[in-house]
Amino acid sequence: MANVDRLMELIGDFGPFQKKIVILCSFPVILFAFVFVGVVFLGHTPDHWCWTPGSEQLLEECGWTEVKVREVTVPHCEKTGSFCRCQRFAVNLSSFLNKCDDFEWELSLNGSQTMPCDGRWIFDKSYKTTVSEFSLVCEKAWLADLNQVFLAFGFFIGAFVTSYIADRFGRKPCVIGSMLGLGIAGVGVSLSPWYPLLLLMRFLQGFCGKGAWTATYVLGRC
């Protein structure tokens, strides 16, 4: 025990070098937090409603607003009283283009039969998320949850693989490689034109993020 105390005296207290290491090691942890909670913004579901054939013509040729088109094409849900997000009136508006100023047919639409959305939706244009970009709503809503699932799967695999890499090749190369991969995966998430590719990038984010976090934790502790 006396030898340990003597060694601690020679090493010194928590000095400038240790402080610099801790500060540098905190940067990957900060980025890791953004990756982990990013799904709150990436996977948010904007306000949306069904697209109806002919709605673009009403907007362009009749000068209607999107609010007015929605009033005559989207039914109200009985439970909530708000506009239904996964149903629309079974009507093709192209046949009504010559009745832009006739509101009687608008009222008659309220009694029309409803039908599920046919694969297209109109989203709130004030912001975009992965949900609006890839139409992950209604029967496809479960796909939006895969965003965080693939990230967690990347954490799981990365915990095994990156720990071996760090032990085999060193913590510093592991941190540098993981941060480089984290940056590339982040750019890939923002530019992915296909949802499967986005899920792959989220997996890589989790994989590289776990490698950076575990390696910097060991370096900071040392």
Can you give the three-state secondary structure of 19-39, one letter per residue? HHHHHHHHHHHHHHHHHHHCH
Residue 157: which of 205, 221, 218, 216 has the closest Cα? 205
How far apart are alpha carbons 161 and 154 in whole angstroms? 10
Number of domains in the chain: 2
Residue 18: which of 6, 29, 26 has the closest Cα? 26
Neighbours of 38 (CB within 10 A): 17
Parallel, antiparallel, or unpaired: how do β-strands 48-50 and 87-89 relate? unpaired
- The 10s digit of each residue's pLDDT in 55-107 is 777 777 677 777 777 777 777 776 666 777 788 877 766 665 566 665 545 54
- For residue 33, tell me if it sits in a domain: yes
- Same domain, yes or no, for 71 and 106? yes
Range of the domain at 104: 48-123
DSSP 123: E
The predicted structure's pLDDT at residue 195: 92
- For residue 149, tell me if it sits in a domain: yes
- For residue 174, tell me if it sits in a domain: yes
- For residue 137, tell me if it sits in a domain: no
The β-bridge partners of 122 are: 49
- For residue 68, tell me if it sits in a domain: yes
- For residue 133, tell me if it sits in a domain: no
- Same domain, yes or no, for 115 and 147? no
- Same domain, yes or no, for 162 and 206? yes
Highest averaged pLDDT of the listed ranges 30-34, 49-53, 160-164: 160-164
- Same domain, yes or no, for 37 and 147? yes
State yes or no: pLDDT of 215 exceeds 80.
Answer: no
Cα atoms found within 13 Å of the Cα of residue 51, Cβ hemisphere only: 14
- Phi, psi (rounded to 5 degrees) for 127: -160, 165
State yes or no: pLDDT of 151 exceeds 80.
Answer: yes
Contact by Cβ (8 Å): 158, 211: yes
- Same domain, yes or no, for 29 and 54? no
- Same domain, yes or no, for 163 and 94? no
- Same domain, yes or no, for 39 and 70? no
